[in-house]
Structure 1
Amino acid sequence: MNVLAFDIETVPDLAGGRVVYGLEGLEDTDVSRAMAARRRQETGSEFPRLHLHRVVAISLAGLVEGRFRVWSLGDPEDGESALLERFFEGLDRYIPNLVSWNGNGFDIPVLHHRALINGVSAPRYWETGDHDRAFRFNNYLNRYHDRHLDLMDVLSSFQMRGAAPLDEVATLCGLPGKMGMSGAAVADAVARGEIEAVRDYCETDVLNTYLLYLRFQHFRGALDQTDYQNETDRVAAALEATDRTHLRNFLEAWRGA
């Protein structure tokens, strides 16, 4: 079975903000400030509405055809449409079980809106059993199915008052947690042209998520102690074999924790 933890990084959609808020003719900096001010008035927070997030990175970690991998989709210079197409094409090809942390609260609705805006087609993702009976009782869309497992959602018993940050839970479980930056720093990093650093940060997030998924599988009895150790060893071996600095740093922090 293919299993992939996924995470996205986004920045405010300034082009969309110009259209939605009638800000045509303004420079990017002024559009950004106007969008932030509008949201601050509405909610007290500058966090954009989900449909006004532009996807700049999608990272994955997990098993594909029996091999553990961690990577970011596409090339650093790829635009949002290309990233979205690669994500949904991968679902069509490999039909993985997806794992996320707060995916139902953020990543998935952002992907829905942005794929719609970019004209992406994703028939396998939207399958609910009309063409493939295997999806009738286990599909990507049902909150309580395993084909997409939102770990934060499940562990909180589907109640927001029980929600917890990935960084804190990962750290408490002996994992490195956040490394390199935080989500709040992504927009500034992208503006400076540091998209590689954003992709690296996103990859460490999905590593935390995948390792928490293995721990959850042990918790619910899907992996016994030996299987759990074998799967975590598989991840460590893959990180040991890489020459990518941020992944080696993750391994060292993991071992240190």
Structure 2
Amino acid sequence: MHLYLDIETIPTADPIIIERVAANVTPPASMKKADTIAAWEAEKKPEAVAEAVSKTGLNGAYGHVAFIGFALDDDPVECWSWPLYHEDERALLAGFSEALSDIPFGRIPTIVGHNIANFDLRFLWQRAIVLGVRMPSWFPRDPKPWGDDVFDTMTKWAGARDYIKMDELCFALGIDGKGDIDGSMVGELFAAGEYQKIADYCIDDVEKVRQVHRRMQLAFGAAA
């Protein structure tokens, strides 16, 4: 059994966290003069703070899981999100955990995704800890990209120390690549209320990773 998975994350909107992030944005160490520092604070710091806040979408301590796309084996891809279907992020994670707990005992799936071991699964765990959500006992806690509990398409292709974008891998395998949306745009689309666009993008990513995985199965064997 395989569980194909992709998540979309967004930056924090919590004023307390934003204030904390902003406090850690300081002028370059090479700046020594008070007037130069003051000019940087007035002209450059707002942009630097905005960039730092946007990066919290990649930080499970501060950012949020907004969309979870998943499919078991040949099932249609589902995409759950708290803007569309759940009350908040905690309800989304709790609902997802409950759905995973319904998988029949003894049929623990291999979770398949792109860069899933280093990002998606760790981010889900971190948010579950922050929000007090109990994940299923079998859900990988510290997955290794080369382990048996996950199949990381990025690592299987590029190795443990290299990297390949999903779009590039799809191109190499003759699979349709991404459309006019990529992960860097999710935060902006979310702020604009374009939730369905993000959901469609997430669903498409899950479909693509399923296609990539099945191509790899031909080379690695059906047990991959």
TM range (shorter): 0.7 to 0.9
What is the match of residue 8 of structure 2? 9
What is the match of residue 123 of structure 2? 110
What amino acid maps onto 1:81 in structure 2? R
Q: How many residues align?
A: 191
Which digits, 9 at most, give the CA deviation of each residue in 1:77-96, with x for residues without a partner? Answer: 42211221122223222132
Report the CA distance shift for 1:172/1:62 in structure 2 as closer, same or farther (over 3 A).
farther
3-state SS, counterpart of residue 137 of structure 2: coil
8 Å contact kept, 1:9–1:55: yes
What is the match of residue 121 of structure 1? 134
Task: Return the alpha-carbon distance in structure 1 between the equivalents of residues 182 and 91 of structure 2.
Answer: 24
Task: Return the alpha-carbon distance in structure 2 between the equivalents of residues 149 and 189 of structure 1.
Answer: 29
Task: Return the alpha-carbon distance in structure 2 between the equivalents of residues 142 and 9 of structure 1.
Answer: 19
8 Å contact kept, 1:7–1:60: yes
Task: Return the alpha-carbon distance in structure 1 between the equivalents of residues 222 and 141 of structure 2.
Answer: 20
What is the match of residue 205 of structure 2? 205
CA deviation after TM superposition for structure 1 residue 74, in Å: 5.2
What is the match of residue 71 of structure 1? 78
Task: Return the alpha-carbon distance in structure 2 between the equivalents of residues 8 and 33 of structure 1.
Answer: 27
Moved more, 84-93 or 174-183: 84-93
What is the match of residue 98 of structure 2? 89
CA deviation after TM superposition for structure 1 residue 38, in Å: 4.2
Report the CA distance shift for 1:36/1:123 in structure 2 as closer, same or farther (over 3 A).
same
- Percent of paired sites with the same residue: 28
Higher helix share goes to which structure? 1
CA deviation after TM superposition for structure 1 residue 33, in Å: 5.4
8 Å contact kept, 2:90–2:133: yes
3-state SS, counterpart of residue 55 of structure 2: coil
CA deviation after TM superposition for structure 1 residue 22, in Å: 7.0
Task: Return the alpha-carbon distance in structure 2 between the equivalents of residues 140 and 210 of structure 1.
Answer: 22
8 Å contact kept, 2:22–2:49: no
**TM-score, normalised via structure 1 length:** 0.66
8 Å contact kept, 1:62–1:210: no
What is the match of residue 26 of structure 2? none
What is the match of residue 250 of structure 1? none
What amino acid maps onto 1:59 in structure 2? G
What amino acid maps onto 1:222 in structure 2? A
1:99 to 112, 124, 135: 112
Which digits, 9 at most, give the CA deviation of each residue in 1:65-118, with x for residues without a partner? Answer: xx4211112561422112211222232221322101001222122112111111
8 Å contact kept, 2:100–2:136: no
**TM-score, normalised via structure 2 length:** 0.75
In the TM superposition, 1:177-256 aligns within 5 A as 177-222=177-222
What is the match of residue 60 of structure 1? 70
Long gaps (5+) in structure 1: 24-31, 40-45, 127-138, 224-257
3-state SS, counterpart of residue 108 of structure 1: helix
Moved more, 189-198 or 13-22: 13-22
CA deviation after TM superposition for structure 1 residue 158, in Å: 1.0
Task: Return the alpha-carbon distance in structure 1 between the equivalents of residues 119 and 198 of structure 2.
Answer: 18
Task: Return the alpha-carbon distance in structure 2 between the equivalents of residues 90 and 97 of structure 1.
Answer: 15
Moved more, 99-108 or 141-150: 141-150
8 Å contact kept, 1:10–1:56: yes
Q: Which has the larger radius of gyration?
A: 2
8 Å contact kept, 2:6–2:120: yes
Report the CA distance shift for 1:38/1:193 in structure 2 as closer, same or farther (over 3 A).
closer
Runs of 4+ in 1 over 3 A off after TM superposition: 18-23, 32-39, 139-142
Task: Return the alpha-carbon distance in structure 2 between the equivalents of residues 57 and 89 of structure 1.
Answer: 16
Moved more, 52-61 or 11-20: 11-20
Moved more, 173-182 or 68-77: 68-77
CA deviation after TM superposition for structure 1 residue 203, in Å: 0.5
